[in-house]
C-alpha cells in the first residue's frame, strides 16, 4: 500500500491531536522508510517481475529486518518509546506505535504471501489484495478519502499555507498513486531505492503542514 499507509497517519491525528502529522506519517511509513536503505546496503532484496501481482511488479524476495512481523513490532516499541521519552505524551506514544504496526497489517492484506513472521521464518503471510486492481482501489481509495476528511475535520488552517499546502499534499499523493498503477515498471532496483529515498521528503512536508494547522476541539481526554 501507499496512500493506505498515509491514510492511517491522517486518521490518527484525530485520536492524537497533540502529535504532529509528520511524526504519525513517519511511524506509519517507517518500514518503507528504512527499506530503501537496507536495499542499498544489501541487507534486503527485491526483484522486478512484471505481473507478479496486478498492482505491483515487485517481488519482495527478502526483507526480514524492515517488514517481518517481529521486526515491525520491535520498531513500533522503539519509536513509541522514544516518543514517550521525548514528548512525555502517553496517548501520542500509543498512536505512534499503532501507526508502525498498522504498516505490517496493511501489507499483510495487500501483498501476496511474502511477509515473514520473523527473520529466518519459513512461514510467509499475505492475503493478496494486490491481485485485484479494482479491489485495491476500492479499499485503499476509501481509506484515503475517509482519512483526508477526518484530518480536515479535526484540524483547521492557521493561514493560507495550512490550507493550500495540505491540498497540494493530497493532490500529489493521488497523482503519484495513480501513476504507479498505470505507469511502467521501475527500470532498475537502483531506481526503486532512489524513489524510496525521495519519499522521505513527505515527512518534513507533513511537519510543515501541521505547523500551519491547529487541532480543533481539544478535549482533556484526548490531550492526556
At residue 69's C-alpha, the angle toward residues 19 and 105, to 5°, is 60
- Any domain includes 48: yes
- Any domain includes 219: no
Cα–chain center distance at 84 = 21
Q: Look at residue 216 in the predicted model and tell me its pLDDT.
A: 82
- Any domain includes 63: yes
Residue-wise pLDDT for 45-80, tens only, equals 999 999 999 999 999 999 999 999 999 999 999 999
What is the span of the domain harbouring residue 7? 3-213
Instruction: For residue 2, give the 3-state DSSP assignment.
Output: coil
Q: Look at residue 86 in the predicted model and tell me its pLDDT.
A: 96
- Any domain includes 126: yes
Residue-wise pLDDT for 25-47, tens only, equals 999 999 999 999 999 999 999 99
Q: Which three three-digit cell numbers place residue 44?
A: 534486503
What total number of domains does the chain contain?
A: 1
Percent of residues, the chain, with pLDDT higher than 70: 96
**Per-residue DSSP letters for 141-193?**
HHHHHHHHHHHHHHEEESSHHHHHHHHHHHHHHHHHHHHHHHSPPPS-HHHHH
- Any domain includes 221: no
User: Quick one: which of 106, 94, 36, 27 has its CA closest to 65?
Assistant: 36
Q: Counting runs of H as helices and runs of E as strands, what totals does the chain give? A: 11, 6
- Any domain includes 47: yes
Q: Could you tell me if residue 111 is left (phi over 0), alpha (psi between -120 and 50 degrees) or otherwise beta?
A: beta
Amino acid at each position: 500500500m501507499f496512500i493506505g499507509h498515509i491514510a492511517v497517519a491522517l486518521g490518527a491525528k484525530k485520536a492524537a491531536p497533540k502529535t504532529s502529522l509528520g511524526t504519525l506519517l513517519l511511524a506509519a511509513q517507517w518500514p518503507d522508510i528504512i527499506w530503501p536503505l537496507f536495499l542499498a546496503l544489501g541487507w534486503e532484496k527485491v526483484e522486478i517481475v512484471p505481473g507478479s501481482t496486478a498492482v505491483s511488479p515487485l517481488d519482495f524476495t527478502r526483507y526480514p529486518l524492515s517488514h517481518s512481523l517481529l521486526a515491525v513490532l520491535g520498531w513500533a516499541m522503539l519509536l513509541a518509546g522514544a516518543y514517550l521519552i521525548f514528548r512525555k505524551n502517553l496517548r501520542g506514544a500509543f498512536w505512534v506505535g499503532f501507526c508502525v504496526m498498522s504498516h505490517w497489517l496493511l501489507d499483510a492484506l495487500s501483498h501476496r504471501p511474502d511477509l515473514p513472521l520473523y527473520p529466518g521464518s519459513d512461514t510467509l503471510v499475505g492475503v493478496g489484495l494486490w491481485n485485484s486492481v479494482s479491489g485495491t482501489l476500492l479499499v485503499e481509495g476509501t481509506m484515503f478519502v475517509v482519512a483526508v476528511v477526518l484530518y480536515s475535520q479535526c484540524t483547521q488552517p492557521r493561514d493560507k499555507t495550512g490550507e493550500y499546502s495540505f491540498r497540494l499534499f493530497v493532490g500529489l499523493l493521488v497523482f503519484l498513486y495513480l501513476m504507479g498503477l498505470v505507469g511502467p515498471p521501475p527500470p532498475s532496483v537502483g531506481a526503486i531505492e532512489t524513489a524510496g529515498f525521495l519519499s522521505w521528503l513527505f515527512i518534513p512536508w507533513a511537519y510543515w503542514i501541521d505547523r500551519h494547522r491547529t487541532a480543533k476541539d481539544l478535549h482533556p481526554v484526548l490531550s492526556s
